[in-house]
Amino acid sequence: MGFTILLGVLAAIAIYAVIVYNNLVRFKHHVSKAWSNIDVLLKQRHDEIGKLVETCKQYANFEQKTLLQVVEARAAVASAREAGDMGALGAAEGALRLGLGNLFAVAEAYPELRTSETFRHLQDRISGLENTIADRRSVYNEAVNINNIKIEQFPDVFIARFFAFGRRELLEFDEAETRDVNLKAMFDD
């Protein structure tokens, strides 16, 4: 009788461990899927920004400093994205947003550029991608948060540690990187 009870308890523990393990796998893959959704958008935006820079270069007097800022920030985002470094990606995204804000503000001084169908299309496309990235970033951060909580909760923490389920990094932007561009300061130079 005692052996049957012990066997039943061990079976219950094993079933519980399998359920916890499967949930941890599901959370891990949900984070990966959320990141993949962002990654696709970042790649699309990377391509569109290249086209936007080339369009602006067609205007001989367009401010080269602004274009260089966007190109460098674009490269930093690509590098951080490929490395999967969320901290570096957050900083690079902030620099890119600032650079794009500056580029669009400077473009206001070029009526021919502003009225260019290509420029307007790219500006709208990049703005749309920015909004979608922001939405997907919140989905990603929620998936990361759920994963991180789950791997720290008792008794799941034992299974998470045994199978090396790790914390994932949130995709966050510093306050300085998310505040609005100071257009007045840009035009006071």
Average pLDDT, the chain: 86
- Assess contact for 156 and 26: CB atoms under 8 A: no
Sorted by where each begins, the domain ranges of the chain are 2-187
Q: Which CATH architecture has domain 2-187?
A: Up-down Bundle (1.20)
Q: Which two tokens stand for residue 23?
A: 């949930």
Burial class (CB in 10 A: 0-12, 13-18, 19+), 147: buried
- What is the tens place of the pLDDT at every residue in 37-62? 999 999 999 999 989 988 888 876 77
Burial class (CB in 10 A: 0-12, 13-18, 19+), 32: middle
CA angle 128, 130, 136 (to 5 degrees): 105
- Assess contact for 90 and 174: CB atoms under 8 A: yes
pTM for the full predicted model? 0.75
Does the pLDDT at position 164 exceed 90? yes
